[in-house]
Structure 1
Amino acid sequence: MKKFFLIFSLFSLCLADDLSKALEYEKKGDYKRAMQIYKKLALQNQTPILTQTPNSTEILAKQNETKSTQTPKNQKRQKDNFSQIALANYLGDENSFNPLGISSYKMNYFLPFSHTNHDLSGSKNEVKFQISLKKRLFENLLGLDEKYYLGYTQTSLWQLYRHSSPFRENSYQPEFFVDFPIHFDGYDYFNNLRLGFLHESNGKDDDHEQSRSWNRLYASTTFLYKRFLIVPRIWYRINEDGGEDDNPAMEHYMGNFDVNLGYLGDDFFLNAMLRNNLNFSRNKGAVQVDIGYDIFDNGIYYYVQYFNGYGDSLIDYNKRLERISTGFLISY
């Protein structure tokens, strides 16, 4: 009897050792070796131990899922859809789980190295970052499948490399806009019409004549043809009373329209923003070029931004500046 218990104990230890090895292989994602051990245990002894581990169908499914997600073909298919993902974000058609209904709006980036050609508040080098979100409020009030949104964008210029590291400028842009879907047979690249109200301010008072603010009504749309994205926008400034207008020449420097021209590749994007006042005798405008590359295939892009012209920020809207910045952009 003692001999029987000794043999049974040794056999149980072997089973436990094999089971621990199988579980270890499974944790590492080596489902093939794990399956071999489970099969061995099943043939040796039909015990409830096997029922405590994933069944063969589940393991094979995981194995096939792991293989499929590692194939270049699947990766390429996901990347090919990036242009559609970008358009879905613009139109508010994201299908991902989002209980709060808050999603990205404009570009979200952090640029720790931003250099200008002018000394601004004691330094040519600073940090630039932008946070932009939107929230859908309701939809289809007019029976046109339209969607109503609140949006918020904040762009900050942070003099991190100076003593006490002050924020040189913050631009606050709350807005309300409505998206109207538009569908024409044979013109799938024309998708929507957006109408909105935008307030932009730096939040400063008039004590040092640094207050900047203006209100606009705007209309924009988007054209997506294969991988090429075009987003034109025009606006009308709501005039303030003559004695209370902080920046009466804002339209002269910022114009009444801008247009974004983009190309969305597999793992990179190019975008150019053009803005002009169309006054050929006193012409003012700006161009911004954005280049991003998805280094790790996770939606975080290495990002370079180049700006030349007027309106780099509200505080400097009437100064011609050249700026180059680099850092990271989040695409989701």
Structure 2
Amino acid sequence: MRHTWPSCLLLLSALPAFADTNTAIEMTDGELNHCLQSSVASAAESMTVADLKQACRLLHAEKISTTEIEEQTLAEAPQTPVLRKRMTLEALNRSNRFMLTPHKRNYFFPVSYTRHPNVAPYQDTDSKSLSDLSKTEADFQLSVKILIREDIFGDNGHLYMGYTNHSLWQVYSDSDSAPFRESNHQPELILSFTNDWEILGFRNALNEVMLNHQSNGQGGLLSRSWNRVMLNTVFERGNFAFSLTPWYRIPEPEQEYPGDPDGDDNPDISDYMGNFEFNGAYQHSDDIYSIMLRNNLDGDNKGALELAWSFPISANLRGQFKYFNGYGHSLIDYNTDMEVLALGIVFTDLF
């Protein structure tokens, strides 16, 4: 998982049974009954009445915590583990066919700066105008998923289809008409299993098997793509969560000539993108600190590091500062070591 926060950790859509515990914000009986009546039709079939009540109380707390509740009151209240909150709220609307659920982070960074843009791929192609890239560009991502089938194996095993688009936009370019220099498309099929095992104080909340395709939608010499079978396991403890996602790249035939559409566009991609991804996140107050690591587990230690800090700027939006260093910032840059600083807005965060 990506990119950015791995696809893995954000595929948290199934719900284990939870006790109807007290929450920080008390609802009136009328507010609770209204929420139950409006939510029951779209909630996951496995949700009990206690689960629905817990979800309604979480929604109520999220709605008013930034405007009506003092921070001291929230700090003194019992806390729900961060992943459990997200899983509960997603399950509340899992069966709603009119709703697309956020998958990975959805964001827009109007400022994404790299000191040495990668112009090499464009120099010998029809996209020579991109050989003079602006060091500052816009970076945005749209990521959603939808439930295909629920409870395949008794009361567990949920099948999803996910899609993520990550685009780099040369909006500040003086030499061209502000082109989108790269757009990566990532459809995937996800079989998700919730879990409640505890290991060394950590709860193994989720395990997944994913069939993942990633492509930049280009042809000829600019084409980049690969297919993977991915495993993902997610753990949480209080305000800390992490995921480990190893993968196997599905082999493709060699190209018979440069730009061969039937051959492998990037046979060495695993040397740079690695064989696994680790993601970790910690929530302190309203701030979320996260880390992503990729590595090829070879002697040259190629991979990537990403550090991010997100913070609230309004009831519905969060700001984020992000630092990336390594390979695979996008598919066109998969074999180029880059250092990127970005600042922008996150529409849906990790939790």
Q: Given the two structures, how large is their TM-score scaled by the length of structure 2?
A: 0.69
Deviations 1:96-145 (A, max 9, x none): 99552411010100000010021343211100000000101111222251
Q: How does 1:108-257 map to 2 (within 5 A)?
A: 108-120=106-118, 121=130, 122=132, 123-162=134-173, 163-184=176-197, 189-206=203-220, 209-243=221-255, 244-257=263-276
Partner of 1:27: none
Change (3 A) 1:66 1:157: closer
SS at match of 2:149: strand
Whether contact under 8 Å (1:217, 1:237) holds in the other structure is yes
Asked if 1:100 is matched to 2:113, the reply is: no
* Alpha-carbon distance change, 185 to 211 in structure 1, aligned in 2, over 3 angstroms: closer
Identity of aligned residues (%): 36
Equivalent residue number for residue 56 of structure 1: none
CA contact (8 A) 2:103 2:144 kept: yes
Relative contact order: is structure 1 or structure 2 higher (C-alpha 8 Å, sep ≥ 6)?
2
The corresponding residue for 2:279 is 260
Based on CA coordinates, which of the two structures has the bigger radius of gyration?
A: 1
Q: CA deviation at 1:92?
A: 4.4
2:259 aligns with: none
Q: Does 1:289 align with 2:289?
A: no
Which amino acid is 2:151 matched to?
Answer: N
The alpha carbon displacement at 1:153 in A equals 0.3
How far apart in 1 are the matches of 2:248 and 2:65?
54
Match of 1:83 in 2: 82
Query: 1: CA distance between counterparts of 2:151 and 2:94?
Result: 21
Q: In structure 2, the residue corresponding to 1:322 is in which secondary structure? A: strand
Secondary structure of 1:252's partner?
Answer: helix
Mapped pair 1:316 → 2:314: no
Q: Residue 172 of structure 1 contacts residue 202 of structure 1 at CA under 8 Å; is this kept in 2?
A: yes
Write 1 or 2 for the structure with the bigger share of helix. 1
Among 303, 327, 330, the alignment partner of 2:344 is: 327
Change (3 A) 1:78 1:117: farther
- Whether the 8 Å CA contact 1:82–1:266 is kept in 2: the answer is no
Q: Which runs of 4+ in 1 moved over 3 A?
A: 65-69, 73-82, 84-87, 94-99, 185-188
C-alpha displacement of 1:299: 3.7
Label 1:66 to 1:199 Cα distance change in 2 as closer, same or farther (>3 A). Answer: closer
Task: Name the structure 2 match of 1:5.
Answer: none
Distance 1:96 1:177 in 2: 15
**Which residue in 2 is equivalent to 1:40?**
none
Residue 292 of structure 1: how far off its partner (Å)? 0.3
Q: If the length of structure 1 is used for normalisation, what is the TM-score?
A: 0.73
**How far apart are residue 331 of structure 1 and its match?**
2.5
Shift of 1:265: 2.1
Query: What are the Cα deviations for residues 19-78 of structure 1, in whole angstroms up to 9, with x where unaligned?
Result: xxxxxxxxxxxxxxxxxxxxxxxxxxxxxxxxxxxxxxxxxxxxxx99996231565579
- C-alpha distance 221-75 of structure 1, shift in aligned 2 (>3 A): same
Distance of aligned partners of 1:144 and 1:205 in 2 relative to their CA distance in 1, 3 Å threshold: same
Offset, 1:285: 1.1
- After the TM superposition, which residues 44-63 of structure 1 pair with which residues of structure 2 at under 5 Å, given as runs? none
Q: Aligned partners of 2:231 and 2:159: how far apart in 1? A: 14
Indicate the RMSD between aligned Cα atoms, in angstroms: 2.8
Change (3 A) 1:214 1:78: farther
CA distance in 1, matches of 2:86, 2:95: 18
Unaligned runs of 5+ in 1: 1-64
Against the structure 1 CA distance between its residues 147 and 265, is the aligned structure 2 distance closer, same or farther, given a 3 Å change threshold? same
